[in-house]
Amino acid sequence: MLDIRKAHQRGNANHGWLHSRHTFSFGHYRDVKQQGFSDLLVINDDRVAPGKGFGEHPHRDMEIFSYVLEGALEHKDSMGTGSVIRPGDVQMMSAGTGVRHSEFNHSAEEPVHFLQIWIVPGVVGAAPRYQQVHFSEAEKRGRLRQIISPEGTDGSLAVHQDARVYAGLFNGNETAELDVGPGRNVYVHVARGSVEVNGELLDEGDGARIRNAGGALRFAKGDDAEVLVFDLRPNELPAMPH
């Protein structure tokens, strides 16, 4: 059974240069019923004005990844990484013992639209690391492509947690199924368009919790849909490891 949260129910922050929708509590947005799900702590749907961005700031003991939908995002960090992330790219920064970074719109003319997602790690004090992989449209078209996994299998990015993330593109008659292990929790986020999940319609910005999801999840009847699917541990709320 899908526990659906509609797009309009998300938190809303408009700072002029940044318009962000928060799936879970973040910054000044606080909702006691929306404190994350399993090890998934943050999904921020960010739109950043040309030439603007997040100045250098610190993180530690958090798995942070960015998924660009439109435009280009420029990343710099204290590990010496400098990169530009464009649609199809997935960036993963494991903050570990501590890292400083900045994220700016790479363009002086066009906005950038991306998802910033935080997953609570399974260990503390890991060495910081940076990963970036491009997944082509063909890899995601009409199927769910694994983009993040604990072991970094099949060309995915590695995460310090028992979590797997899949990305898919669905339109028209394209369908796919994801077999989920017994007792797992799943979170589905529709980045754009609309798609049916087990017969229930999810629109752009909608999310759905699926508890004890063992079995197949079926994705069908997409309308230019781009979707992220999180296969997670059977916890209700995130908790930092000791």
What would the pLDDT profile of 25-44 be if each residue is shown by its tens digit? 999 999 999 999 999 999 99
**Which residue, among 137, 92, 82, has the nearest Cα to 119 in the 3D structure?**
92
What would the pLDDT profile of 80-91 be if each residue is shown by its tens digit? 999 999 999 999
pLDDT at position 16 is 96
What would the pLDDT profile of 142-177 be if each residue is shown by its tens digit? 999 999 999 999 999 999 999 999 999 999 999 999
The Cα–Cα gap between 205 and 119 comes to 19
**What is the fold of 2-232?**
Jelly Rolls (2.60.120)
- Of all residues in the chain, what percent carry a pLDDT higher than 70? 100
Does this model's pTM top 0.85? My answer is yes
Torsion of CA 208, 212, 214, 219, to 10 degrees: -10
Segments making up each domain of the chain, as ranges: 2-232
Give the mean pLDDT of the chain.
97
Q: Please state the rounded mean pLDDT for residues 209-234.
A: 96
pLDDT at position 67 is 97
